Amino acid sequence: MKRLFLISLVATLALVGCDSKRCEIDGRLGNFRGEGMIYITDNWNKKVVIDSTTVSQGVFRFDNVKAEPTLASLVGEDGSHITTFFIEEGKIAILGDAAEYNVKGSGTPANDAFNAFMQERQEFKEKFGKAIQSGDEEAVEALDKEYEAMSARYQEENGGNIFGIFMLKQRSYSETSHTILNEIAKLPQELQELNVTKSMKAEMEQRRKTEPQAEGSDFVPHYINIVQPTPEGVEVSLKSVVENTSNRYVLLDFWASWCGPCKRELPHLTEAYAKYHKKGFEIYGVSFDRNADAWEAAIKEYKLNWVNVSTVTSFNNQAADDYAVSSIPTNFLIDCSNGVIIAKNLRGEDVIKKLEELLK
């Protein structure tokens, strides 16, 4: 296993370019048992090795790390994770007790901001835990909003360094694509040119195509057609379901039989289907299953009497790319009168509430 890890490191090391300004790293690790080589890997680029050096009695130095600013990991020769930090111009100190897992990078804007954020984040985590344990839903909601505000503040304060990109990526999971694209446009040009920023921008532009219209946006999202086989092997298109004159609203639902949260949503969907199907509600379920038998068994077990399709290839599915689906369950509500996507990720009772509003 160790030999395979080293071969992988050597192979990927040659792929790294030399694009950054000077970045020097000095490290001292207490209670570090490893000797030999120590590596920096790129967390945002498939763990590609950025640089390597020798470590002796916990002491090491990288004279000039040559890579564009990024989120990186420091790993030992055996592949063990030591710490996460940011590569950027300047002198970075990596210090701490390896045995206590408290090693941190510091000395540059992104790394210092990251440390401050993680400390505040830990404080929020403790507050969340107490509020949840006490059953104080108002406190949980207030803390949630406060945390979002804190995240936005850290992102704004670090708009000129790589930590600001990290925070923007974190916010992209809960904010609209419209908001994130606007924030990207505000970044300094050199940060917009980073691979991680270009990738995030491309993802947001794809997501915008199927995300309900955001306030202030003039982009109206329409459904993208899907054509996949049913368990019986008959290909059924989403277009045929949306354009069926019997249907007024179609829920495009991405799920899988192996997904626990997906299965917890199914009773709500079956209830909504039983109540509103005759009034013009249909479901087009796309499964990201890997096993056809498991998929078909789940359809029968949960009585999913709507349109079910799948290529049985998990996330290796064109529909996942078209709809920018990175996690499940994910759903989209389509207005059949114009093909416009009007809602996304309706959870629990929200499906029925939305249909009550639409199908009075």
Intervals of CATH 2.60.40 along the chain: 2-107
pLDDT band at 188 (very low <50, low <70, confident <90, very high): very high
CA distance 286 to 268: 17
Q: What DSSP line would sit under 238-253, residue for residue?
A: HHHHHT-TT-SEEEEE
Percentage of residues in the chain with pLDDT exceeding 70?
Answer: 94
Q: Tokens for 161?
A: 């360094």
CA distance 283 to 273: 8
Mean pLDDT for the stretch of residues 345-359 = 95
Q: Tokens for 100?
A: 């206590």
Run of H or E residues at 133: helix 109-134
- Note the pTM of the prediction, 2 decimals: 0.78
> Could you tell me the fold of the domain covering 227-358?
Glutaredoxin (3.40.30)
pLDDT band at 8 (very low <50, low <70, confident <90, very high): very low
Considering the domain delimited by 2-107, tell me its CATH architecture. Answer: Sandwich (2.60)
- The three-class DSSP label of residue 139 is helix
Intervals of CATH 3.40.30.10 along the chain: 227-358
Please tell me the predicted confidence (pLDDT) of residue 42: 97
Query: What confidence tens digit (pLDDT) does each residue in 154-163 have?
Result: 999 999 999 9
The amino acid occupying position 191 is L
The amino acid occupying position 322 is D
Please tell me the predicted confidence (pLDDT) of residue 119: 95
Q: Tokens for 121?
A: 């984040």
Judge whether residue 27 has pLDDT over 70: yes
Mean pLDDT for the stretch of residues 59-63 = 96
Run of H or E residues at 40: strand 36-42
Query: What confidence tens digit (pLDDT) does each residue in 242-288 have?
Result: 999 999 999 999 999 999 999 999 999 999 999 999 999 999 999 99
